[in-house]
Amino acid sequence: MTISRTRSMLLILPAAILVFGFIMLPYISVLVMSFRLPGEGQTPYGEGFGLMAYRSFFSQPYYLDSLPQTLWMGALTTFLCLVLAYPVALHIALASRRWRGLLYGLVLSPLLVGIVVRSYGWTILLGNAGVINTVLRDWGLISRPIPLMYNDFGVILALAHVFLPFMVLPLLSTLSQMDHSVAQAARSLGAKRFTVFRRVTLPMSMPGIQSGCILVFVLAVSSYVTPALIGGMRVKTTTILVVDALLDQYQWPFGAAMALVLAVSAGIIVLIFSRLTRMKWK
């Protein structure tokens, strides 16, 4: 028994070292940095420890107001991705094997393009001189450009496009493993399509919904490139403020404190969502 346990520990040791070195150690470093005192000039942090970074964040409305806005934008992005991804995943799950591979490849194809390129593509579409405003102006439907960029609408739309595949994949995995004969049996017993979807398909696909929502929400809340390109300086998310504090202001403790507050807030929301969906759909 001891030899077997020793062998198991030796097999786990490389993975444990990687997890500690690349995941746990950076988090510990950020946690320690958040309690350091702020530095002066080009010094990123000062001597000693304290709660000054957290006090600065919670005492300044400019930074504090960005937290609920970031979480709200992440929630809206997650909901939009769910509404758009569910029909796509259900259609692929019900498709034949011949078409399933092609459709699966189309879903994965946006991941082959970098986030910067995909986000910059939306600036061409949503800009004041972009494709949408130009077409509407040429058709005589508008007299002045519609503000589609540098606001929450443009950022949420671009985020939904960027992270849509991450919602489709968990849903597709769950819907593909679902026993569709149950839905056919409900239809044969006289249930309407919406009733079958609400009472059979939706509850059985809840694990995929939960996984996809958590994944997209975490990615949307922590996104930096898309809000920076589409929102510019007018849409202030906590992630943008964190990067600004680290690189421009050169205040590492303050940036680390904001990053941890955002991570804890997002973690609490994910925990509440997991508990509520588990209690409702168990």
* Span 200-210, average pLDDT: 85
Give the angle subtended at the CA of 217 by the CAs of 214 and 223, to the nearest 5°. 135
Q: How does pLDDT run across 139-187, given as a tens digit for each residue?
A: 888 888 888 888 899 999 999 999 999 999 999 988 888 777 777 777 7
Q: Which two tokens stand for residue 148?
A: 């589609």
Report residue 275 CA to chain centroid gap: 19
Strand 45-49 versus strand 36-38 pairing type? antiparallel
The whole-number pLDDT of residue 282 equals 47
Backbone angles phi, psi at 38, to 5 degrees: -65, 150
The DSSP line for 179-248 is -HHHHHHHHHTT--HHHHIIIIIHHHTHHHHHHHHHHHHHHHHT--HHIIIIITTTS--HHHHHHIIIII
Within 13 Å of residue 144, how many CA atoms lie on the same side as its CB? 1
For the chain, what is the total number of helices (H) and then of strands (E)? 16, 2
Helix (H) or strand (E) run with residue 83 in it: helix 66-94
The whole-number pLDDT of residue 65 equals 92
Question: C-alpha distances in angstroms, 273 versus 55, 173, 211, 263?
Answer: 29, 20, 11, 15
Instruction: Report the range out of 64-73, 112-121, 230-239 with the highest average pLDDT.
Output: 64-73
In sequence order, what are the residues at sequence separation of 6 or more whose Cβ sits closer than 8 angstroms to the Cβ of residue 156?
73, 76, 77, 80
Report residue 73 CA to chain centroid gap: 10
Which range, of 48-62, 187-201, 211-225, 260-274, averages the lowest pLDDT? 187-201
Domains, the chain, ranges and CATH?
Answer: 65-236 (1.10.3720.10)
